[in-house]
Chains A and B, each alone.
Chain A
Amino acid sequence: LAKTTQPISMDSYEGQEVNITCSHNNIATNDYITWYQQFPSQGPRFIIQGYKTKVTNEVASLFIPADRKSSTLSLPRVSLSDTAVYYCLVGADNYGQNFVFGPGTRLSVLP
């Protein structure tokens, strides 16, 4: 069974803020939440990781509510180059069952 649920696709316009929410109702105490970005013909690329509350880096913010059953990736002022597939992963230990990529969210940024 998939551990996470995300919207299949989203559309946005350049300059807008985009929020992609991931549901992970069965998250375990030790699990971290990690988001990856993938462009066509490339491997996934790490964006951000968090455990609780809010994490921010130079490209994104990650909001995690107190119950940790969901998380929201926030991309400020997207550009055309942010068009990609975004994956949410939940896990802690390095075991295969934690490396479950769902179909991801296909973000299309329009001019």
Chain B
Amino acid sequence: GAGVSQTPSNKVTEKGKYVELRCDPISGHTALYWYRQSLGQGPEFLIYFQGTGAADDSGLPNDRFFAVRPEGSVSTLKIQRTERGDSAVYLCASSNSGAGDTQYFGPGTRLTVL
């Protein structure tokens, strides 16, 4: 079956602009995660959804970052007033449900803020 997909694969924007990054999880997976990965570093947790609700958003760096999952499947990560420091690969993962489930990652969206 299809894996986790993310669009766009690359996004270049200018400082101060607004961007949206999309994640399509594996069908039927109730849990969805967003991570950010900088060059040479491991993925950094941003937010976790269980169904439509954000069960844990403790990783969001500030109020410029926001994510939604209105129907419990597709999720959108929204970044307002982008800064050069936001440049990174944004990864999405989904898992079936419950604690300790394997997370399946998408290929990521490479965001570059000029």
Contacts and interface: CB of A to CB of B under 8 A. Distances in A.
B100 A43 contact: no
B4, B42, B56, B104 pick with most chain A CB within 10 angstroms: B42
Given A43-B4, A43-B108, A46-B104, A94 B50 contact: yes
Given A41-B107, A43-B107, A103-B40, A96 B102 contact: no
B67 interface: no
Given A42-B107, A43-B93, A44-B105, A94 B99 contact: yes
In the A-B complex, the 8 residue pairs with the closest CB atoms = A43-B105, A101-B42, A99-B45, A96-B56, A32-B100, A46-B102, A96-B58, A101-B43
A100 interface: yes
A92 interface: yes
Interface of B: 4, 31, 33, 35, 40-45, 47-48, 50, 55-59, 91, 93, 95, 98-108
Interface residues of A, number: 25
Summarize A's interface: helix, strand, loop or mixed.
loop
B48 A94 contact: yes
